[in-house]
Every structure is written in C-alpha cells, then in structure tokens.
Amino acid sequence: MNNPVLSLVLSRLLIAVVTLLIVSFAVFFATTLLPGDTATILLGQAATPEAVAGLRAAMHLDEPALLRFLRWIVGLLHGDLGTSYANEMPVADLIAGRFINTLKLAGVTALFSVPIALTLGITAAMLRGSLYDRIVTVLTIGVISVPEFMVATSAVLIFAVYLKWLPALSFANEIHTVSEMLRVYAMPVITLTFVVSAQMIRMTRAAVIETLNTPYVEMALLKGASRSRIVFRHALPNALGPIVNAVALSLSYLLGGVIIVETIFNYPGIAKLMVDAVATRDLPLIQSCAMIFCVGYLFLITAADIIAILSNPRLR
C-alpha cells in the first residue's frame, strides 16, 4: 500500500472534486436559464416595477451570473443553502428531515438488494448456460427493460389489489408499530429492490464470468481442484474488486429509482420534495436537492473506481 496506489486514489479524488465543480456549475446555470424574470414570477404580474426592482436587488439578481454562482458555492460550503422562494423557510430546514427519510429508504433497500443480488449473480455465473442461469438472465433483462413506475404499479397490483397484503400507498406520518413501519416501507422497498437488484445481478454475473475465463482458473482445474474450490479460492478473490465495484455502481441506480418511487408512493423523501419544488419553480430548493443527488451519485461512482484500484493485486 504505497505510492502507486496512493497517487492513483488521490488523482481519482481530484477528478471527483473537479467533476463536482463542473456539475455544480451546470446545475446552477441550468436553473438560471429560466425564461422570464424570477422576481416578476415570484411577485406575480400585478407587482409594481419598484417592488420587482427591490426584490431583484435583495436577491442579487442584477449581479453578473458568475458572481452569483460564486456567492452560491461559498454559501453551500458554509452550509447556507439559501431560502425557499415558495414558503420562505431556509432550504436547509426543509431538506434535513426529508434527507434522513430518503437515506432510510435507500439503506433498507441496500440491505435487501445486496445479498439477494450477489447470491443470484454469483450462482448464475457459476452455473452459466444452465436453465437457472437463463431464467435469471431473462428476468433481469425484463426488469431492466421496463420503466421503474411499471415495476411499482405491478407491485401495487400484485400485493395490494389482488393479494391485499399491503396498502397501495404509504403515509409516513407517524410510525409507532412494526406493522405500520412495514406498511410504509414495504412497497417502496420492494420496488427499489427489484430495480437495483436487476442491475447488480447483471454486473456481478459479468464480473464473475470474466474471472472464470482466466488461464489461472483453467490451471486450478488442471490441478484437480473441485468446482467450489475453483470458485471460492481462485475466482471470487479476484472478482471481489469488480463485484464491489458493481455493487457501488448499481446503488447509483437508486437515485433514479427513488425519484419515481417517492412520487408514486407519496413517500416524504428528498426526491418528492424536489419534484414538488419543480412544480412551484422553487429554484434554491431545486438547486440544493440536485446538488445532494449529484454528490451522492458522484460519491458512489468514485467509491466504485477507488475500490477497483485498491483491489488490483498487481498494485499491492
């Protein structure tokens, strides 16, 4: 664990920081493309020109865009996310509770999907070409090829409408009992688990198959090693890096899925907050939510890359 690894990891982190800067730039300017004047929109058509001008000055809207961008970035770094246009509350307060909710949803999903997906992915790779493998492959392609809302609506139809096990929509007002918690989380988690697992199974299977095709696996076979020994001693230790990489990458699909799932199930998370903010054109709120998502996404893909670097035995 010395210089080459360290410098690779550091350079990857540096790239992440630069990327984050470009992304925040993009997010900021995409939202300032808004046609029409923000102040006018906020105050309505009937506002007097003086009132509009006053608000513009208060919101620094008459300053050059670049300066506003810098002001915004500096604010973000100090934890000042701005003030919501819609209800004039600090964005940070609006986000805090919602963010925790989304993290809970993501955490529970990961808890279920990772073990399920790894088991299915690795076993499918081991039994490549078998009926089992083919069924798993067809199912994952099926889930990947349909929109997330279809997975969600199908889950509702099956579990709520036909089987009547769960309520169709979740209301996370107050959770006191286990059954209430189950009712709130079950449907969103089932949907997200399907979406994320399908990706993860595919990637894990591909990673394991790749190591199973290497000459050292053939060599182990020619030493007389048993099937399980080949997989557990030779293939998996070398596939570990790619597998963890696949897990991190698949979890990034959570972000896309969570937007749909929170909307459809009325889950009070940050994605729902953002979709609602889009409806009211609440720019500071949209910007902050978008940044949180981008940071999360960037964190996952950077982690995936760093794991890939660390797990390369040739760099040890």
Partner 1 sequence: MINLVEICDLKVEATTDSGRRVEIIKGVSLSIAEGEIVALIGESGSGKTTIALTLMGHARPGCRISGGSVSVAGKDLVALTEKQRAKVRGTEVAYVPQSAAAAFNPATTIMDQVIEVTRIHGLMSPDEARTRAVELFRALSLPEPETIGSRYPHQVSGGQLQRLAAAMALIGDPKLVIFDEPTTALDVTTQIEVLRAFKAVMKKGGIAGVYVSHDLAVVAQIADRIVVLKGGETQETGTTEEILNAAKHPYTRELLAAFEPKPRGTVSPEAARGSLLKIEDLVAGYGRRQADGLPLVRAVEHVSLKVEKGRNLGIIGESGCGKSTLARAIAGILPAAVGKIVFDGKELGRSARDRSRDQLREMQIVFQYADTALNPAKSIEDILDRPLVFYHGMDRKARSVRIDELLDMVRLPRNLRHRRPAELSGGQKQRVNFARALAAEPKLILCDEITSALDTVVAAAVIDLLKELQRELGLSYIFISHDLSVVEAICDEIVVMYGGRKVEEIMPAKLKAPQHPYSQLLFSSVPKLDPAWLDGLAQDPELVRAYCRR
Partner 2 sequence: MTMTTSSTSTSPSRKSGTRSGYRFNIVGMIGLAIILFWALIAIFAPVIIPYPVGEIVDVDYFGPLSREFWFGSDYLGRDMFSRILMGARYTVGISLAAVTIACFSGVVLGMIAAVAGGWLDTLLSRFLDALNSIPGKLFGLVVVAAVGSSIPVLILTLSVIYIPGSYRFARALAVNINAMDFITVARIRGENTFYLIRSEILPNIAGPVLADLGLRFVFIVLLLSGLSFLGLGVQPPYADWGALVRENIGGLPFGAPAVMFPSLAIASLTISVNLLIDNLPQKIRDRSE
- Cα 224 → chain centroid: 44
Q: If phi over 0 gives left and psi between -120 and 50 gives alpha, with beta otherwise, what is residue 34?
A: beta
Selected from 25, 29, 165, 216, the binder of partner 1 by CB under 8 A is: 216
> Which part of the chain contacts partner 2 (CB under 8 A), choosing from 48-56, 67-75, 237-245, 255-263?
255-263
Is residue 110 within 8 Å of residue 300, measured between CB atoms?
Answer: no
Q: Is residue 31 part of the contact set for partner 2 (CB under 8 A)?
A: yes
Three-state secondary structure call for residue 307: helix
- How many residues touch partner 1 (CB under 8 A)? 19
Please report how close the Cβ of residue 47 comes to partner 2 at its closest, in angstroms.
21
Please report how close the Cβ of residue 253 comes to partner 1 at its closest, in angstroms.
29
Query: If you ran DSSP here, which 8-state letter would residue 83 be given?
Result: B
Q: Is residue 218 part of the contact set for partner 1 (CB under 8 A)?
A: yes
The one-letter code for the residue type at 308 is: A
| Binding partner at 216 among partner 1, partner 2, none, C-beta below 5 to 8 Å by kind | partner 1
Selected from 189, 231, 244, 274, the binder of partner 2 by CB under 8 A is: 274
Phi, psi at 46, each rounded to 5°: -80, -5
Residues 294, 279: Cα–Cα separation, whole Å:
20
Residues 208, 229: Cα–Cα separation, whole Å:
14
Selected from 237, 266, 278, 280, the binder of partner 1 by CB under 8 A is: 237
Q: Is residue 127 part of the contact set for partner 1 (CB under 8 A)?
A: no
Please report how close the Cβ of residue 229 comes to partner 2 at its closest, in angstroms.
29
The one-letter code for the residue type at 187 is: M
Site string for partner 1, 285-314 (x = CB under 8 A): ----------------------------xx
Radius of gyration, alpha carbons of the chain: 24
Q: Is residue 205 part of the contact set for partner 1 (CB under 8 A)?
A: no
Please report how close the Cβ of residue 34 comes to partner 2 at its closest, in angstroms.
5
Site string for partner 2, 169-208 (x = CB under 8 A): ----------------------------------------
User: Which tokens is 136 given?
Assistant: 């798993």
75-80-81 Cα angle (round to 5): 95
> Which part of the chain contacts partner 2 (CB under 8 A), choosing from 11-19, 98-106, 117-125, 181-189?
11-19
308-313-314 Cα angle (round to 5): 105
Sign of CA dihedral 167, 170, 171, 175: positive
Is residue 24 within 8 Å of residue 291, measured between CB atoms?
Answer: yes
Q: If phi over 0 gives left and psi between -120 and 50 gives alpha, with beta otherwise, what is residue 166?
A: beta
Using CB under 8 A as the criterion, which residues of the chain lie in contact with partner 1 when the complex forms? 214-216, 218-226, 229, 234, 237-238, 313-314, 316
Using CB under 8 A as the criterion, which residues of the chain lie in contact with partner 2 when the complex forms? 15, 18-19, 22-23, 26-27, 30-35, 141-142, 144-150, 153-154, 156-157, 160-162, 168, 252, 255-256, 259-260, 263-264, 274-275, 277-279, 281, 283, 286, 290, 293-294, 297-298, 301
